[in-house]
A and B are shown apart, each in its own frame.
Chain A
Amino acid sequence: MELVTSVLAIAVFAGASLVYAAVGEIVTERAGVLNLGVEGMMIMGAVTAFAAAVASGNAMVGVVVGGVVGGIMALVHAFATITLRADQVVSGLALTLAGGGLASFLGQRLGPGGAPLVGMVGPRFHGVPIPWLSDLPVVGPALFDQDVLVYLLFLVVPAVWFFVARTRPGLALRAVGESPQTADAMGIGVYRVRYLATVFGGVLAGIAGAHLSLAYTPGWTEHLTGGRGWIAIALVIFATWDPRRAVLGALLFGGVNAIQFRLQAEGTTIPASLLNMMPYLLTIVVLVVITRFEALRHRLGAPAALGLAYDREERT
């Protein structure tokens, strides 16, 4: 029982950044924009959030800065792919590659007085146990003894789900991702919706990075995100574009992390790298299953116009 409790708590803690990034990417993709730059936006969010937290002495300032930086990077992607109609796949990859390089560069410059950030100790988020609730068996520590950014997810996930699935602007968002031509004819500003959705995704990716550098692994090291941005993109498919299911997926990915910590502590014979592989293989399996059942895929919400640039003058 104690094992389940602790694994669950670590899973939530480890999965939080994945939920932020995946929920952001879900909104972006729902508008028909594929942004493969999540990893780059996350790592830029992580480094700038930590730098801002160190400079201001306030971790919350870091979160805001990380979110803004993520949003600015997404704006670059939006400009390239929506206005200039550049290829979405390549633009996103460029964002990831440029972001990774720039983050390493900044990490050596953004400390106080231009010092490197590596190895520096700064403000961070601590767990804030909620009285009574955190004492609940099994789920108590997992849900009610976490940091502020995890608690914020209790609001963000339902809000985004409700917005996408139940509101008029959410309907517009889905229409744009499903058929920009039809949406345009309905009087929806396709470009505006796509810009907003892409920037929103970037802001959440930046906050995801901030959770890493300010809570999960406080501080800055190169390659801090370690491929989490890619996992978030996989989670979007895993969750079939539904924020609620993204939480489940993130718990699974985070849980694998947690179990692996435990197993290593107990001296297991299963190599860590083989265990680490499971989420990636599982993602492929899920992808095959949802593709296999086209009807299922449609009902689950894969945006039909995902990855396609929209050119008003070429409406047919």
Chain B
Amino acid sequence: MTAPFRIGLEKRLDPPPYVRWLVPILSILVALGFGAVVIGLAGADPIEAYLQILAGAFGSPAAWLDGEFYAVSETIVRTIPLILTGLAVAVAFRMRFWNIGAEGQLVVGGVFVAWVALFLPELLPGIPQTPWVYLPLMAVAAILGGALWALVPAVLKAALEVDEIITTIMLNFVAILTYQYLFTGPWKDPEGQGFPGSAPFPEFAWLPRIGGRVTLGLFLALAAAVVVWLVFDHTKLGYEIALTGENPEAARYAGVRRAGIILAVMLLSGGLAGLAGFTETAGISHRLQQGLAIGNGFTGIIVAWVAKLRPGWIVLVAFLLSALFVGGDQLQISMGLPASIGAFFQGMILLFVLGGDVFSRYRLRIARRAHVISAEG
């Protein structure tokens, strides 16, 4: 006995434009609905939980009237590195270079920043010790660190065709272990009384704050988004990246040098991830310590993919996911639900967006078949 209906997928030859944004939004809503079920099963009220997440991430109207924007400022704090890692991943994924190593590139960026802030003043006392000189130096160091770390898998891929998924993942571990070794070993603060971390950066190496714990890093991240958008949409490099990603054969015939594109893409990608290491160390921790490798590089993958690798959407999605993190923390305080619920939601959103994507590429086709067969028989 076969089912009277056959459900099949039919390729959309010409997807209507609204599909592009409607499908991801519906996917996110379905994921949040699924999340509500999980919260319900965990014995809590889902509506109450979502209201708490909103309040935890954005504050309440009553608080806003009192000029209290702590919640939303914390959400922006977490948004900054996510924009940068999201952009980093998007640049690489656009040419289908699977850079899973943003986490490690971020960490190496942070290590380079820490070196400049901790040791350069003593090494080269001639450099004026002001933020105007030091902050740009540290930012450049971060870009260099991230780019160098990304260069390893890029060269291995360009020269030897070594699979980048594994190399970037392995280099994450190497980066994190190196960074932990540094702040617990040779760079450990001798006056830290056993506290595992480097000495604090001198104050001229602190990224200025513009409100709450939000730093100038916000503008840096937004500027980076504009730069990536310009590269994607208005440069030859951007065109070559997209072409190589969509059709490597066509790119080859169009004269795109594959090795060159891989190197360029990974320098840009690693540099952006490295910058996130700059905003986190120079802006938040002001030293090298535990807490730099908290998964922003991996969440960046979710950000980039949900945003369909578009810089403008990346800013929005980074803000949304950051709200889930910060709001999730709030759930722990107010309802006793584990803060990790935020990470779970994000994974679910990615899964649903990924699965939902089929509806922008294919159309569901439901065909009756039992009748057809019997009519013919």
B-contacting residues of A (Cβ < 8 Å)? 34, 36, 40, 76, 79-80, 84-87, 89-91, 93-102, 104-105, 107-109, 114, 222, 227, 230, 233-234, 237, 271, 273-274, 276-277, 280-281, 283-284, 287-288, 291-292, 313
A313 touches B162 (CB 8 A): no
Across-interface contacts of A36 in B (CB, < 8 A): 100, 165
| A90 engages B354 (CB within 8 Å) | yes
> Once bound together, how far apart are the Cα atoms of A96 and B180, in whole Å?
23
> Nearest B residue to A236 by beta-carbon distance?
B166
What are 29 A-B contacts defined by CB distance under 8 Å?
Answer: A40-B347, A85-B361, A89-B165, A93-B298, A94-B354, A95-B351, A96-B347, A97-B298, A97-B343, A98-B347, A98-B351, A100-B347, A101-B347, A102-B340, A104-B340, A105-B344, A109-B43, A227-B173, A230-B169, A234-B170, A273-B181, A273-B184, A274-B177, A274-B181, A277-B174, A283-B166, A283-B170, A287-B167, A292-B160
Q: A90-B350, A98-B343, A274-B181 are in contact. List 14 more A-B contacts (CB 8 A).
A: A40-B347, A84-B357, A86-B355, A94-B347, A100-B347, A101-B342, A104-B344, A108-B338, A109-B43, A237-B163, A277-B177, A277-B178, A280-B171, A313-B11
Contacts of A104 in B (CB 8 A): 338, 340, 343-344
Give the CA-CA distance A79 to B9 in the complex, in Å.
14
Cα separation A98 to B302 with both chains bound (whole Å): 11
Contact (Cβ within 8 A) B341 A86: no
The one of A274, A276, A287 in contact with B166, judged by C-beta atoms closer than 8 angstroms, is A287
* A280 contacts B351, C-beta separation under 8 Å: no
On whether the beta carbons of B355 and A288 are closer than 8 Å, the reply is no
CA distance A102 to B351 in the complex (A): 13
When distances are taken between beta carbons in the complex, the residues of chain A under 8 Å from B184 are: 273
The answer to whether residues A97 and B358 also contact, given A105-B338, A288-B162 and a CB cut-off of 8 A, is no
Contact B162 A76 (CB under 8 A): no
Determine if B301 is an interface residue (Cβ-Cβ < 8 Å).
yes
Contact of B357 among A86, A101, A271 (CB under 8 A): A86
Q: CB-defined interface of B321-348 with A at 8 Å, one 1/0 digit per residue?
A: 0000000000000000110111111111
* Contact A91:B354 (CB < 8 A) given known A105-B338, A287-B162: yes
Q: With A84-B358, A93-B100, A93-B301 given, is the CB distance from A291 to B162 under 8 Å?
A: yes
Would you call B48 an interface residue if the criterion is a C-beta within 8 Å of the partner chain's C-beta atoms? no
Decide yes or no whether B112 CB sits under 8 A from chain A. Answer: no
Chain B residues in the interface with A (C-beta under 8 A): 11, 38, 42-43, 98, 100, 156, 160-163, 165-167, 169-171, 173-174, 177-178, 180-181, 184-185, 298-299, 301-302, 305, 337-338, 340-348, 350-351, 354-355, 357-358, 361
Contact B173 A280 (CB under 8 A): yes
**CB pair B348 A98 closer than 8 Å:** yes
Given contacts A86-B355, A98-B351, A99-B347, contact A234 B338 (CB under 8 A): no
* Interface class of chain A by DSSP: helix
Q: How far is the CA of A97 from the CA of B38 in the complex (A)?
A: 16
In the assembled complex, which residues on chain A have CB atoms less than 8 Å from the CB atom of B351?
A: 76, 80, 91, 94-95, 98
Provided the pairs A86-B354, A234-B169, A280-B173 are in contact, do residues A100 and B343 lie with their beta carbons within 8 angstroms? yes
- Would you call A234 and B166 a contact (CB within 8 A)? yes
Contact, CB under 8 Å: A98 / B166? no
Docked CA distance A194–B346 (Å):
27
Q: Which residues on the A side are within 8 Å of B169 (C-beta)? A: 230, 233-234
Top 5 A-B pairs ranked by shortest CB distance?
Answer: A98-B347, A101-B344, A101-B343, A104-B340, A97-B347
B181 and A291 contacting across the interface, CB-CB below 8 Å: no
Q: Give the distance in Å from the alpha carbon of A107 to the alpha carbon of B355 in the complex.
A: 27
* A104, B338: Cα distance in complex, Å: 7
Bound state CA distance, A234 and B161, in angstroms?
Answer: 17
Q: Are A287 and B163 in contact (CB under 8 A)?
A: yes
**Nearest residue, chain B, Cβ from A286:** B166
Check A273–B178 contact: CB distance below 8 A.
yes
- List of B residues within 8 angstroms of A274 by Cβ: 177, 181
The reply to whether A90 and B341 form a contact with Cβ atoms under 8 Å apart is no
Known contacts A234-B169, A273-B180, A287-B162; is-contact A95 B347 (Cβ 8 Å): yes
In angstroms, how far is the closest chain B Cβ from the Cβ of A307? 9
Which one of B42, B162, B181, B351 has the highest number of Cβ atoms from chain A below 10 Å of its Cβ?
A: B351
**CB-defined contacts of B298 to chain A, threshold 8 Å:** 93, 97
Contact present for A288 and B358 (CB under 8 Å): no
A271–B170 touching, CB < 8 Å: no
CB <8 Å contact, A101 and B358: no
CA distance A230 to B169 in the complex (A): 8
Q: Decide: A94 and B350 in contact? CB cutoff 8 A.
A: yes
**Alpha-carbon distance between A114 and B301 when the two chains are bound, in angstroms:** 33
Q: Assuming A97-B343, A100-B347, A281-B174, is B163 touching A87 (CB within 8 A)?
A: no
